[in-house]
Structure 1
Amino acid sequence: MQPTSPFSPERVTPDDLDLAVRLTLTALRAAPPEAWEGQAGSLEWSCWETVEHLSDGFLGYAAQLGPKQPPQDGYVPFAWSQVRAGAPANAIRADRSAGPAGLLQVFEACGAILGAMVRTAPPTTLAFHSYGSSDPEGFTAMAVVEALAHTHDLAEGLGLPWDPPAGLCTRVLHRLFPDAPTGHAPWLTLRWATGRAELPGHPRRTEWQWHGAPLPR
């Protein structure tokens, strides 16, 4: 059962995903080309690998919602693989010869594919996720959280500013982290919820997951 949320009751929409993708692209396009092989914040991945992971996740979420009978007990069986030990296991990779601009184009394209899917899938669709089956709104919120949290990692690694809008953060907190503490800035709270910051009286999380179950309609 989804806990009652103290955060904004506004629904997460595909427009929120579009906004998250656009903000991420704007931030990352300022990165110098030579910085992409550096570590992404506290992650074990390089900045390049982290954007590939984001792209892979977006396409994977779209794939979960795509079949006429969405999977209920596992992921659509793409062949995931690692390019090195410790790297993310992806089915989607960017052509290195296309450089950072090509990498970001792959990310933008995968975000557009997910955006199209969540706009057209019936809102009552349920598909498997390891944190619990979810609906198109849930997968949209998951993608927004992935974009905001991993762009935070990337901004740390690339030396870029990153401060997403409070409203966007409150909507995904309501949808996926309804048990998060209140009384703090939404972006700080979202970083705490995803194990990336401390809150007063709340130590940094070492394990976390979201609540993917659909909200009552």
Structure 2
Amino acid sequence: MPGTAARTAAHIAADDLHEAVRLAVATLRDAPPDAWEGRAGTLEWDCWETVEHLADDLFAYAVQLGPAAPPSDGDVPFVWQARRPGGPANAVHADRAAGPAGLLQVLEACGALLVAMVRTTSPETRAYHAYGVSDPEGFAAMGLVETVVHAHDLAAGLGLSWEPPAAPCARALARLFPTAPTDTPPWPTLLWATGRAELPGRPRVTTWRWDGTVRTAGTAGPA
């Protein structure tokens, strides 16, 4: 397991995000067609809504980087609306008539948007996020965490197995959760940091947020 210095030296790349989305979509394609209305793990949303929420997150991060002068004090003003009380407030919704295959195509497309923006946006760009004004690498890390942890929620609801590769999880922890333990395996630690699992010897996380602020070389905290 890499130590703190090794973690902070590692960078999240667009390829990490691309692979996370690819693996998630491939896993979700194995879901039973009649399982999508069940709850996604411990979330209050069903599995269909959770995929829409994840696609919406990836879309929102992509468009936040899009303007020539990205906003530093708020979101790009799309309209986010829930389709039912208690449902996720999204700008992105999949056509139910397209079925699960169409839903996953929406997820794949939104992931591709964020991957493309991370690859083509200057690393000097800064854009607003509620958890800290960030850079393209930060938005890639956010997208990766959203993808792998919501794939975990979905796998629980759909009866699937899911475990992403350890290395990008370690890089995401270093980028967004710089105070997380470094002596525990990355994937269980990421689940613990996002309130989804126990970690031996540490109290369960009940409220959490990442630190999206920009890092400088050799630092674990905000720049």
Corresponding residue of 1:182: 182
Q: Indicate the SS of the match to 2:125.
A: coil
Contact conserved, 1:192 with 1:198, CA < 8 A, in 2?
yes
Contact conserved, 1:64 with 1:75, CA < 8 A, in 2?
yes
Please list every run of at least 4 consecutive aligned residues from structure 1 whose deviation after the TM superposition is greater than 6 angstroms: none
Alpha-carbon separation, structure 2, partners of 1:175 and 1:191: 15
Contact conserved, 2:50 with 2:154, CA < 8 A, in 1?
yes
Corresponding residue of 1:145: 145
The residue identity in structure 2 corresponding to 1:189 is T
Contact conserved, 1:7 with 1:173, CA < 8 A, in 2?
no
1:128 aligns with 2:114: no
Residue 182 of structure 1 and its aligned partner are, at CA, apart by 2.3
Q: Tell me: CA distance 1:30–1:61, structure 2 relative to 1, closer, same or farther (3 Å).
A: same
1:161 aligns with 2:151: no
Q: Indicate the SS of the match to 2:212.
A: coil
Alpha-carbon separation, structure 1, partners of 2:182 and 2:23: 25
TM-score (norm 2): 0.93
Deviations for 1:2-48, whole angstroms, at most 9, x for unmatched residues? Answer: xx945522210000011100110111000011000000000000000
TM-score (norm 1): 0.96
Residue 144 of structure 1 and its aligned partner are, at CA, apart by 0.1
Alpha-carbon separation, structure 2, partners of 1:204 and 1:158: 25
1:171 aligns with 2:166: no
Q: Indicate the SS of the match to 2:34.
A: helix
Contact conserved, 1:6 with 1:174, CA < 8 A, in 2?
no
Contact conserved, 2:4 with 2:182, CA < 8 A, in 1?
no
Alpha-carbon separation, structure 2, partners of 1:199 and 1:125: 36
> How do 1:1-217 and structure 2 match up within 5 A?
5=4, 8=7, 9-217=9-217
Residue 203 of structure 1 and its aligned partner are, at CA, apart by 2.0
The residue identity in structure 2 corresponding to 1:160 is L
Contact conserved, 1:6 with 1:182, CA < 8 A, in 2?
no
Deviations for 1:138-166, whole angstroms, at most 9, x for unmatched residues? Answer: 00000000000000000000010011111
Gaps of 5+ in 1: none
Q: Indicate the SS of the match to 1:140.
A: helix
Residue 168 of structure 1 and its aligned partner are, at CA, apart by 1.3
Q: Indicate the SS of the match to 1:48.
A: helix
Contact conserved, 1:177 with 1:210, CA < 8 A, in 2?
yes
Deviations for 1:72-122, whole angstroms, at most 9, x for unmatched residues? Answer: 110011111111111100010000000000000000000111111111111
Q: Tell me: CA distance 1:152–1:7, structure 2 relative to 1, closer, same or farther (3 Å).
A: farther
Q: Indicate the SS of the match to 2:211.
A: coil
Identical columns (%): 62
- Coordinate RMSD, CA, aligned: 1.2
